[in-house]
């Protein structure tokens, strides 16, 4: 997953030993956070001052498809 994030141009924003990445798209930011001690990741989208959490774990395939869909618009 971390290789995919790097290849897609996500910025590493690790803080206090929490692995996290972000990428700006048109009008919003996608954040990805690694669950401490697990190989699972969560995502959220921030638009202005509103943050919406994706309710399921995400993986490399999800991130690639999300990136593809949002670069085409």
Query: What pLDDT does 36 receive?
Result: 85
11-68: per-residue pLDDT in tens? Answer: 999 988 899 999 999 999 999 999 988 889 999 999 999 999 998 999 999 999 999 9
The rounded distance, in Å, linking the Cα atoms of 10 and 4 is 9
- Angstrom CA distances, 50 to 12, 28, 38, 57, 73, stand at 21, 10, 27, 20, 21
Q: Does 7 score more than 90 pLDDT? A: yes
Q: Structurally, how many domains does the chain consist of? A: 1
The partner residues of 21 in beta bridges, in order of sequence, read 12, 32
Report the sign of the C-alpha dihedral through residues 49, 62, 6, 9, in that order. negative
Query: What pLDDT does 73 receive?
Result: 53
Residues in the chain: 73
Domain that holds residue 35: 2-71
* Phi, psi of 59, deg, nearest 5: -135, 180
């Amino acid at each position: 997953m971390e290789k995919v994030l790097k290849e897609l141009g996500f910025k590493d924003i690790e803080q206090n030993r929490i692995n996290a990445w972000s990428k700006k798209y048109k009008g919003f930011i996608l954040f990805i956070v690694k669950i401490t001690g697990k190989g699972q990741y969560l995502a959220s989208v921030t638009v202005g001052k509103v943050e919406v959490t994706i309710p399921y774990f995400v993986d490399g395939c999800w991130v690639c498809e999300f990136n593809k869909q949002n670069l085409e618009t």
